[in-house]
Structure 1
Amino acid sequence: MMNEIHRPILVFGATGRQGGSVVKALLKTHWPVRAFVQDLSEPASVALQEAGAELVQGTLEDANVIASAMKDVHGVFSVMPASLSAEDEVRYGTCIADLAAKNHVDHFIYSSGASAGDKLTGVPRFDAKPRIEAHIRELPLTATIVRPMIFMEMLVRPGFGLDEGRLVSLIHRDHSIHLTAVQDIGKIVAAMFADKARFAGMTLKIASDRVTGHELEAAFSEAAGRPITYARFPDEVLAANADLAHMASSLEDGPLAERVDLDLMREINPELVSLRSWLKGEGFEKLEEALLWRPA
């Protein structure tokens, strides 16, 4: 397959984390990339073009531009911006899938969310992704759905205590959490585009590592070069933040508590990154920023 001359992959969110990771991984495997971007002059867009991607300018409102961008592509990678309302996320996510079906795209990969699960909660922002998933499954479209587990980047956000030697997150110290390095998402998606027959029709949770609260404390202390103590968010913080509360609950007995087969992940992506290696590599700069953060 990889020796054939490839038709392009159209990548949405190409200047964002997931889409950018997919573009990078596809270009590394010499697959032509058509990157959908809002602003051609944005530094991230310029960098994509310099890396070898073909740019298409448009917004998610531009159905005609999107349809035109899908012409003669092999595949489409669809991911929705986190900034969208639930209503817009469903509208744009289903529209892109509809256009892919209408344009007979060979392989459609949608990045959903691991906390989505298969059951609707009745809360629009939690139900947007499963609603898009359900819509995709009804279409005459060869599709793969990936559900990345919680991003490692979430642990190194400035202002959450690392500057004071504290790491606060969603699990109890003796519980475990699956984490995903964004760079792995691109490599896994690229491998899926390279093997449509294997991944067609599949919905797959993806992750890079699984660690306990104790292991988080040890990994961050080692990477920071000083003691970092781990604690779960206090109950009152969770009670005041519906998104955090939903994720914490899901990590205990919901979709985020389900095991990801990390051996399968390594088979799909032999370069899978552990949390420890991510903190020393791709995540080190972000860790440094969080350690040095000072309140305004």
Structure 2
Amino acid sequence: MTSKRVVVVFGATGQQGGGVARTLLADKTFHVRAVTRDTSSKKALALADLGAELVTADLHDEASLRKALAGSFGVFAVTDYWSPDIGDKEKEISILLAKISHEAGVQVFVYASLPNVERLSKGKYACPHFSGKAKAWEEIKKAGLPFAATVEAPIFYQNLENPRMQNGPIKWSFSREDDGKATFHYPVLGKDETAPWFDVEDTGLAALAVLKSPEKYNGKRIVFKSPLFNQPTSALLDTFTRVTGEY
């Protein structure tokens, strides 16, 4: 049995959860309990090699959540960005996870949230995979957890080559043509329009800061900024070319 305080990381084989798990494992302050649906996957076993405890749990299965959270000090919670549970269902799952965490005695709850697009646009735009998380956070703050904070990520650099993005609501894609050129398709942005980007691994730095200093960050939203924050898309592509040598 570990003498370190246990932090349960949901989505540990995904992008944000994986970044958090690896950061915590490298820091060595906490014992990492990595939650995954398949403990035999390559990504899960790679975390185990770094020292993570692997457990199975399903956000739709309350009993499995209670088992995964037993005896834990902290939680990093992220829900599936593109799943059918976008919006109200995702909100329900997030609130349930916070409730069970409180009942399990969790002290610090770090939630991967996003802005409320409906509220910010005064109802002009519907973006359920953003707004559902923001609405959940408003309820999580009322769950009775001693300390809770959000981390709110911009667009991941890693998504430039993530085939899953092609099937999401935005349907962007990144491909290499026969002539060697790289092509980036992103329907909502022109070359002169701006958007924030960052390295998804940095999610772990924010989560670690909250877990180590929960009093400082309690109730706060941690929003990321990077060298390409709000730079035009053309700047991102120029940087991609400079670093990779691809056009």
Structure 1 residue matching 2:34: 3-state secondary structure: strand
Whether 2:161 is the aligned partner of 1:156: answer yes
TM-score (norm 2): 0.80
Q: 2:9 corresponds to which residue?
A: 11
Q: Which residue of 2 aligns with 1:62?
A: 61
Cα distance change of structure 1 residues 61 and 202 upon mapping to structure 2, 3 Å threshold? same
- The alignment status of 1:38 with 2:37, answered yes or no, reads yes
SS across alignment from 1:138: coil
Q: Is the 8 A contact 2:81 2:129 kept in 1?
A: no
Write the distance in 2 (CA, Å) between the matches of 1:36 and 1:191. 21
- Which residue does 1:128 correspond to in 2? 132
Structural RMSD (CA): 2.4
1:167 lines up with 2:178 in the alignment: no
210, 213, 218: which one aligns with 2:238: 218
Partners of 2:154 and 2:218 in 1: how far apart?
20
For residues 165 and 124 of structure 1, the distance between their equivalents in structure 2, rounded to whole angstroms, comes to 31
Distance 2:162 2:36 in 1: 26
CA contact (8 A) 1:184 1:208 kept: no
The answer (yes or no) to whether the contact 1:33–1:53 under 8 Å persists in 2 is yes
Counterpart position of 2:169? none
Distance 2:236 2:190 in 1: 11
Q: Which amino acid aligns with 1:88?
A: K
Question: How far off its partner does 1:186 sit?
Answer: 1.2
Question: Structure 2 residue aligned with 1:138, among 117, 120, 142?
Answer: 142
Where does the alignment leave 5 or more consecutive residues of structure 2 unmatched?
Answer: 164-172
Q: How does 1:62-211 map to 2 (within 5 A)?
A: 62-85=61-84, 86=86, 87-114=88-115, 116=117, 118-119=119-120, 124-141=128-145, 142-157=147-162, 159-163=173-177, 164-169=181-186, 170-209=188-227, 210=229, 211=231
Q: Distance in 2 between matches of 1:110 and 1:171?
A: 28
CA displacement at 1:125 relative to structure 2: 4.0
**Cα deviations by residue, 1:18-63 (Å, 9 ceiling, x for unpaired):** 1111010001110210111111222222222121111111211221
Return the offset for 1:193.
Answer: 1.0
What is residue 48 of structure 1 aligned with on the other side? 47
Percent identity reads 27
Matches of 2:130 and 2:206, distance apart in 1: 24
Distance across 2 between alignment mates of 1:102 and 1:149: 31
Provide the rounded CA distance (Å) in 1 between the counterparts of 2:89 and 2:194: 33
Query: Mean alpha-carbon deviation: is it higher for 17-26 or for 54-63?
Result: 54-63
- Name the SS for the 2:140 alignment partner: helix
User: C-alpha distance in 2, partners of 1:71/1:204?
Assistant: 27
- The alpha-carbon distance between structure 1 residues 48 and 157, as it changes in their structure 2 partners (threshold 3 A), is closer
Larger gyration radius, structure 1 or structure 2: 1
Q: CA deviation at 1:217?
A: 3.3
TM-score, with structure 1 as normaliser: 0.68
Distance of 2:162 and 2:49 partners within structure 1: 29
Q: Structure 2 CA distance, aligned partners of 1:105 and 1:79?
A: 16
Between the aligned partners of 2:193 and 2:94, the Cα distance in structure 1 is: 34
Shift of the alpha carbon at 1:126?
4.3
Deviations 1:142-187 (A, max 9, x none): 2101110111123335653553444344434344321021111112
Q: What SS does the corresponding residue of 2:8 show, helix, strand or coil?
A: strand
Structure having the higher helix fraction is 1
What CA distance in whole angstroms lies between the structure 1 residues aligned with 2:73 and 2:27?
15
Deviation at 1:117, TM superposition (A): 7.0
Cα distance in 2 for partners of 1:67, 1:201 equals 24
| 8 Å Cα contact 1:115-1:149 kept in structure 2 | no
Instruction: State the secondary structure of the residue aligned to 2:80.
Output: coil
